[in-house]
Amino acid sequence: MSNATPSIAIVGYGSQGRAHALNLRDSGFQVVVGLRPGGPTERQAKADGFTVRTPADAVADADLVAVLTPDMVQKQLYADVLAPHMKQGACLLFAHGLNVHFDMIAPRADLDVVLVAPKGPGALVRREYEIGRGVPCIYAVHQDPTGNAEQLALTYAAGLGGARANIIRTTFKEETETDLFGEQAVLCGGASSLVQAGFETLVEAGYQPEIAYYEVLHELKLIVDLFYEGGITRMLEFVSETAQYGDFVSGPRVIDASVKARMKDVLTDIQNGTFTRNWQAEYDAGLPNYRKFQQADKDHPIEHVGKQLRAKMTWLGEQTGAQAGAPAQPQSEAA
């Protein structure tokens, strides 16, 4: 196998899959996309100019196979398609380590097994590459029978544009557990619950829902952008002294030691596999609770108010946020 120019099969063409495939092709790699025939992602991949084959055909001749399907379909995908069809000594690459770390996938002993995870959604990975920059990547090596695994991971990360920003070595354990924790406690679960609670507090106190929306959700982007650019220090430099003082005295009242203790409970459930077992059971049962939780968020009053207000924000347009430029499809169709 050539470490410089491995042939790559991308399995899955959702937000990350599309970005990876486009960036790697533009970096000079031979890329084929493996998808189920007839789905919306197949149409998108063909429209983007890729050769599209069934997953089994796509991986058969590939030096490197990138698994970019949803977590809960990967175990079956590996058993049915990857294990029987990947060639000896190929490299199996994941963008998230959940299935390997929690032993849902036990890769063949002859395969190099690596992880490359860009620290950003697919549309950002693509957009940064197109303008000559890159999104930082983390990488890990799980198996290295050929001795080439680390170089392949670094080559892949560079092809995504990661070398233009930063590439950091990690482990499957560290990536999986910190990624799950970040999503649950801060980025998705924590942030959305904080916003909803703030909205409810203001509305229940008699303030207009529209004003509450602007205060606790709309303006959050301005603060997060400052975090992104220069950390908490930069945020404090750009808000008023009144806001700073409120930050100092009231932030710890809301996010106190009891919140951190519950965060540790969340982390424990991630580390010992409780979360993954529960998620697998939920998926196997047909996602009844998942769909109920999802609908409850969609039905929350802040969503109805926000939809009305955003309709007046003409600058947002039809394609905004993390998914701009990526095909929209439910999780089950991402492969």
Active site residues: 96
Distance CA 65, CA 48 (A): 19
Q: Check residue 87 and report its DSSP letter.
A: P
Residue 122 among known ligand-binding residues = yes
Helix, coil or strand: residue 34: strand
List 139's β-bridge partners, or say none.
116, 169
Residue 13 among known ligand-binding residues = yes
Question: Which helix or strand (DSSP H or E) is residue 31 part of?
Answer: strand 31-34
Residue 16 among known ligand-binding residues = yes
In the block, tokens 């190929």 appear at: 90
Nearest by Cα to 278 from 265, 269, 267: 269
Chain-centroid distance, C-alpha 182: 11
Asked if 255 contacts 263 with a C-beta cutoff of 8 angstroms, the reply is no
Residue 27 among known ligand-binding residues = no
Residue 332 among known ligand-binding residues = no
Helix, coil or strand: residue 70: coil
Residue 183 among known ligand-binding residues = yes
Residue 219 among known ligand-binding residues = yes
Distance CA 300, CA 93 (A): 38
Q: Check residue 256 and report its DSSP letter.
A: -
Distance CA 270, CA 86 (A): 31
| Six-digit token string for 316 | 């947002």
List 116's β-bridge partners, or say none.
139
Distance CA 112, CA 96 (A): 16
Distance CA 305, CA 316 (A): 16
Residue 215 among known ligand-binding residues = yes
Nearest by Cα to 135 from 144, 127, 146, 143: 127
Return binding residues for substrate. 240
- Binding-site members for Mg(2+) are 179, 183, 215, 219
Known binding-site residues equal 13-16, 36, 41, 122, 179, 183, 215, 219, 240
Residue list, annotated binding site for NADP(+): 13-16, 36, 41, 122
